[in-house]
Structure 1
Amino acid sequence: MTAVTTRTVEYPADGLTMVGHLALPAGADRRPAVLIGPEGPGVDDVPRRRADALAELGYVALAFDIHGGRWFTDPEEMLARCMPLLADPDRMRDIGFAALDVLRAEPRTDPDRIAAIGYGTGGAIAVELGRAGVELRAIATVNGLFTGRPGEAKNIHCPVWAGVGSEDPIQPPAQREAFTAEMQAAGVDWRLVTYGGALHAFHHPITRTDQKLLPGVGYHPRHAERAWRDVVDLLAECMPIGSIMGA
């Protein structure tokens, strides 16, 4: 593992002051960079640790915010914030664009090698950046399989990887099929991995005692590890660190 430097970054988006977590690998050279979007409740230590883990692998990583520094423990409050957001592609794009501007402004970022990954609402935002025509090297979304406006998926010019739990009632088979049909019709290089027996947010450990869960939400440690490896493999395929990692 290489030494990682982290810092909190504040920036405006969606009428809020967002609070992101930026992780930088050792060295001073430019590196491929990754946006990391959080689950619906917001940014907690889980996406921060993901950013740190990617920085250890040699990437610049920004865990971006979606709620102005807030983390929702009450799922009803979270849904009241997220559902209108998920229904408004322009708002999702604005949140993603603002985070992208922060990542591009970091001197360590190679602006020609940026990927977007995300979970739930953050994953939907990652895909929406692709639909908006942002030049990304890869997109990954876990539990964020939402269809966009008709025809806009043709603007995605990079591989899209998606993951979902087989028992996820929030992302049921019909929703998954609509998402993959959209990708296929647009000629996108897409993959969908279904993790058997997993619920919604299967990748997110329960880290707080005050956290309330929606029905159909549950952590699956084995599949969480597998999904993370799948995302890392996608990044290695599309944005290899190469000689930086001694390859």
Structure 2
Amino acid sequence: MRRCDGPVIEKFSCRRDALTIRGHVYRLGEGKRPAVVLCHGFLANDRTLRVYAQALAELGYVCYTFDFNGGGVFCHSDGKSRDMTVLTELEDLRCVMNYVRKQPGVDAEHISLLGCSQGGMVSAMYARRHPENVDKLVLFYPALCIPDDARAGKMMFARFDPTRIPDTILYFPMRLGRDYARSVLKMDVFKEIGGFDGPVLLLHGTADKIVPISYSEKAAKLYPNVLYHPVQDGQHGFKGKFDREAVDVLTEFMKPEA
């Protein structure tokens, strides 16, 4: 257990089959509380979510951040990056959500999801499949371009022929296997995320060169209860004043109802 500037931070773990998922719990105070599960993006890990978890814990939420199995650089969960896909991350998230719902200090009727980049796509897919388990959905620059990128044979640093995908499509900074691309080749991402009627907060930088903002503009039209907030001049992965803007919008959206 350790303290940051406010919330207590503790480690937690759960399992998907033989793989251990590891992460951290942020809590300020005791008693049963609403929860937020936070999902990191491609190449990232749960430490990149710390500022959001701390801000939400200050509002009274108990927050769970975790590393996807094989899901990023310096990942503390099990699994190999060559076996990771959007769909394996969806299964990881399902296991974490099931774990969180069973915790005695969590109000299981009020669990929200926050996802960044690839974690945003995974969170949106989960919310569509299990809307009864998600109170609010927060998406930061969700990487809804992943299926289109796979079909184009251009996924982040990877370049390949989508009609003849090699066993390994990327070697550095982490190894990605064929299934990372093959699993989304025929995916209609907007069908995969549409159908969640709960409150949605969607933030995307207008200067994002990795995931064009047009994907979020289209996604916003799918949600009947959405607050869509373009971050002017923000890029992919908010930093500095853009991160402060994101935290301000997030905390206002997530303020507990009176």
- Same fold? TM cut 0.5: yes
- Please give the alpha-carbon distance, in whole angstroms, between the structure 2 residues aligned to 1:198 and 1:2: 27
Residues 105/6 of structure 1: CA separation in 2 closer, same or farther (3 Å cut): farther
Secondary structure, counterpart of 2:44 in structure 1: coil
Superposed CA deviations along residues 177-205 of structure 1, whole A, max 9, x for unmatched, are 33234x15xxx31232111112111x2xx
**Corresponding residue of 1:112:** 109
Note if 1:139 corresponds to 2:170. no
- State the partner residue of 2:56: 54
Corresponding position of 2:13: 10
Task: For residue 58 of structure 1, report the CA deviation from its aligned partner.
Answer: 1.0
Please name the residue that 1:85 is paired with: 85
- Is 1:172 the equivalent of 2:212? yes
- Alignment match of 1:156 (pick from 196, 202, 211): 196
Q: Secondary structure at the match of 2:94?
A: helix
Distance 1:13 1:42, change over 3 A: farther
Q: Is the contact between residue 100 and residue 106 of structure 2 (CA under 8 Å) also seen in structure 1?
A: yes
Structure 1 stretch displaced more, 224-233 or 42-51: 42-51
Which of the numbers 231, 235, 243 marks the counterpart of 2:254?
A: 235
**Is 1:200–2:198 an aligned residue pair?**
no
Kindly indicate whether the alpha-carbon contact (under 8 Å) linking 1:145 and 1:162 is maintained by their aligned counterparts in 2.
Answer: no
CA distance 1:120–1:69, shift in 2 (3 Å): closer
Distance 1:66 1:145 in 2: 16
Q: Is the CA contact (8 Å cut-off) linking 1:16 and 1:67 kept in structure 2?
A: yes
8 A Cα contact 1:14 1:95, kept in partner: no
Report if aligned partners of 1:139, 1:161 keep a CA contact under 8 Å in 2.
Answer: yes
Task: Give CA deviations for 1:3-58 in whole Å, capped at 9, x if unaligned.
Answer: 6332111222386321111112212x211110111122232433234323322221
Deviation at 1:138?
0.8
Does structure 2 conserve the Cα–Cα contact (< 8 Å) formed by 1:163 and 1:192?
A: yes
Residue 226 of structure 1: aligned partner: 245
TM-score of the two chains, using structure 1 as the length reference: 0.72
Asked whether the 8 Å contact 1:92–1:128 carries over to 2, the reply is no
Return the alpha-carbon distance in structure 2 between the equivalents of residues 36 and 130 of structure 1.
13
SS at match of 1:228: helix
Question: Normalized against structure 2, the TM-score is what?
Answer: 0.70
Change (3 A) 1:69 1:142: closer
Q: Give the number of aligned pairs.
A: 208
**Contact kept in structure 1, 2:202 and 2:216, CA below 8 Å:** no
Matched-pair contact (CA < 8 Å) for 1:32–1:114 = yes
- Unaligned stretches of 5+ residues in structure 2: 146-187
Identity %: 22
Match of 1:67, SS? coil
SS of residue paired to 1:26? coil
- Verify: 1:126 aligned to 2:166, yes or no: no
Structure 1: give runs of 5+ residues left out of the alignment.
204-218, 243-247
Quote the Cα distance in structure 1 between the aligned partners of 2:29 and 2:5. Answer: 6
